[in-house]
Amino acid sequence: MDDIMRQLQRAKEEDARFDRILGSMCTRPHPVSVKAYEMFIESNLGDYELFRGSKKLEEKAMEWVAKLFHAPSGYAGIFTSGGTESNITALWIFKKLSGKREIVIPQHAHFSFEKASSILDMKMKIVEGKYSMRAGDVKKHIGKNTSCVVAVAGNTPFGRMDEIAEIAEICNDENIFLHVDAAFGGFVAPFISEKIFDFRAGISSICVDGHKMGMACIPSGFLLLRHREWLGEIKVRSRCTHTRFQAGMLGTRPGAAAAASYAVMHHLGYEGYRRVAENCMENTRHLVKLLDERGIDYVEPELNLVAIRVDDVDETVKKLASLGWFVGRDEESGIIRIVVMPHVTKEMINKFVEDLEKVIP
Ligand code: 0PR
């Protein structure tokens, strides 16, 4: 046992620590979330008749998110392992409902849609756009085989929001589904932006991740659908278990993750998340100010994510790593990515910018 523990300790020491991580959309989970996770470690939501308490927590966490996004009363929710599973599941449902095999998707959408396209055998029609997707560019990509449009609230490289309300109007006119990927932005934008990107805009589905700005333990994802009946498309009888039906990709699922999400959401509440988001935005502005003072070029942030333009992405990432910093990168856009998560303090930002100045010409 001692030997195993020593091995675990050594492995843990090889893991990066959050006080050096600047490029991740994850953060240290809130202590309340960790506590709840530990309490429900045995629970399996795949067989929810056995774990009815966990199931209730899952439903309550879902209600909390549904309220955040103004879901209509007949909505359905699936608690998932995160944005990837949510995105694949949404496209799966819309393929079944429409019987069509094309998706219209912004250039800067997350690579989980590439996985979805491969698994579901759906063709991606890519809408080009500098930092986000404009409504005016969407229409020409819609055709008779379009199943759904994907729009992003807080995209992966720039943290920008697509023109979701306007895109929703087009989708409603064309009678096609609109899925909103708010995996990252869903816990920030409602608190700091005036933009309407949720069910009020007339969207079909939306996902958000608790394990990103929700400060919940990994894995935590929420997928909300406008109509409960849509779940019927992916519902299967779960034979031999204590539960009659499952709807979703996974079988056995961690009840601990649902309890952990419930706990942090109800502990922080909407006001708590507003404070977290405002604090992250304040630190984002601090970072931008330091970059301005040094003449370092960046993409104007909309949420708590700053894409810094550099000449040689690979070289910059390597040099920063040698100084102990982990930053995100996107070679295609020529940027390194700083996500100003709740664990990213002003002190970290100050030290990082000092080091960044040393490594860029
Ligand atoms: N949608 C968007 C807009 C995302 O940015 C991501 C992940 C996903 C969906 C998929 O989410 P899951 O990975 O939870 O399934 N974006 C992060 C990124 O690419 C994922 C991540 C998080 C990567 C932490 C690294 C990391 O350390 O940055």
The radius of gyration of the chain's CA atoms, rounded to the nearest angstrom, is 21
pLDDT (tens digit per residue) in 164-203: 999 999 999 999 999 999 999 999 999 999 999 999 999 9
| Ligand 1 pocket member 83 (CB < 6 A) | yes
Residues 240 and 305 in one domain: no
Range of the domain at 224: 31-266
| Ligand 1 pocket member 220 (CB < 6 A) | no
Q: Atom 14, ligand 1: which residue's CA is nearest?
A: 82
User: Once rounded to an integer, what is the mean pLDDT over residues 106-132?
Assistant: 98
Which of 25, 105, 115, 184 has most ligand 1 atoms within 8 Å of its beta carbon, as the pocket-test mutant? 25
Residues 15 and 120 in one domain: no
Cα–Cα distance, 136 to 119 (Å, whole number):
29
In the chain, what percentage of residues exceed pLDDT 90? 99
Beta carbons within 8 Å of 168's beta carbon, 6+ residues apart: 151, 178, 201, 202, 203
Residues 112 and 36 in one domain: yes
What does the pLDDT read at residue 1? Answer: 79
Distances (CA, A) of 177 to 97, 219, 235: 9, 27, 20
Ordered alpha helix ranges (H), 15-73 = 31-39, 52-68
Residues 301 and 330 in one domain: yes
Which of 107, 156, 211, 337 has most ligand 1 atoms within 8 Å of its beta carbon, as the pocket-test mutant? 156
pLDDT (tens digit per residue) in 208-225: 999 999 999 999 999 999
User: Once rounded to an integer, what is the mean pLDDT over residues 256-278?
Assistant: 98
Which of 206, 233, 266 lies at the terminal end of a domain, its last residue? Answer: 266
What does the pLDDT read at residue 131? Answer: 97
Q: Give the number of other Cβ atoms within 10 Å of residue 58's Cβ.
A: 25
Q: Atom 17, ligand 1: which residue's CA is nearest?
A: 25
Q: Which residue has the tokens 């050096």?
A: 20
**What tokens does 303 get?**
């949420």
Question: Amino acid identity, residue 338?
Answer: I
Cα–Cα distance, 107 to 318 (Å, whole number):
26
Residues 137 and 275 in one domain: no
What does the pLDDT read at residue 155? Answer: 98
Residues 13 and 158 in one domain: no
- Banded pLDDT at 58 (limits 50, 70, 90): very high
- Specify which residues 104 forms β-bridges with: 125, 149
Cα–Cα distance, 172 to 167 (Å, whole number):
9
What does the pLDDT read at residue 344? Answer: 98
Cα–Cα distance, 284 to 341 (Å, whole number):
9
- Burial class of residue 252 (count of CB atoms within 10 Å of its CB; 0-12, 13-18, 19+): exposed
Residues 84 and 128 in one domain: yes
**Widest Cα–Cα separation across the chain:** 65
What does the pLDDT read at residue 136? Answer: 97
Beta carbons within 8 Å of 353's beta carbon, 6+ residues apart: 287, 290, 291, 294, 296
Q: pTM to 2 decimals?
A: 0.98
Q: Give the number of other Cβ atoms within 10 Å of residue 152's Cβ.
A: 28
What does the pLDDT read at residue 361? Answer: 78
Cα–Cα distance, 265 to 343 (Å, whole number):
18
Residues 204 and 234 in one domain: yes
Q: Which atom of ligand 1 is nearest to the CA of 154?
A: 3
Q: How many residues does the chain have?
A: 361
**CATH code where residue 161 lies:** 3.40.640.10
Cα–Cα distance, 123 to 277 (Å, whole number):
36
| Ligand 1 pocket member 209 (CB < 6 A) | yes
**CATH code where residue 319 lies:** 3.90.1150.10
pLDDT (tens digit per residue) in 32-53: 999 999 999 999 999 999 999 9
Beta carbons within 8 Å of 90's beta carbon, 6+ residues apart: 148, 179, 205, 207, 223, 225
- Banded pLDDT at 56 (limits 50, 70, 90): very high
**Taking Cα atoms as reference points, which of 148, 150, 156 lies closest to residue 131?**
156
Residues 290 and 228 in one domain: no
pLDDT of 96 above 90: yes
Which of 266, 292, 321 lies at the terminal end of a domain, its last residue? Answer: 266
Q: Atom 20, ligand 1: which residue's CA is nearest?
A: 25
Q: Atom 25, ligand 1: which residue's CA is nearest?
A: 24
Which of 266, 294, 329 lies at the terminal end of a domain, its last residue? Answer: 266
| Ligand 1 pocket member 184 (CB < 6 A) | yes
Residues 213 and 353 in one domain: no
Cα–Cα distance, 245 to 77 (Å, whole number):
15
Residues 281 and 254 in one domain: no
pLDDT of 348 above 90: yes
Q: How many domains are there within the chain? A: 2
Residues 290 and 355 in one domain: yes
DSSP string, 252-268: S-BHHHHHHHHHHHHHH
**Taking Cα atoms as reference points, which of 63, 97, 96, 44 lies closest to residue 222?**
63
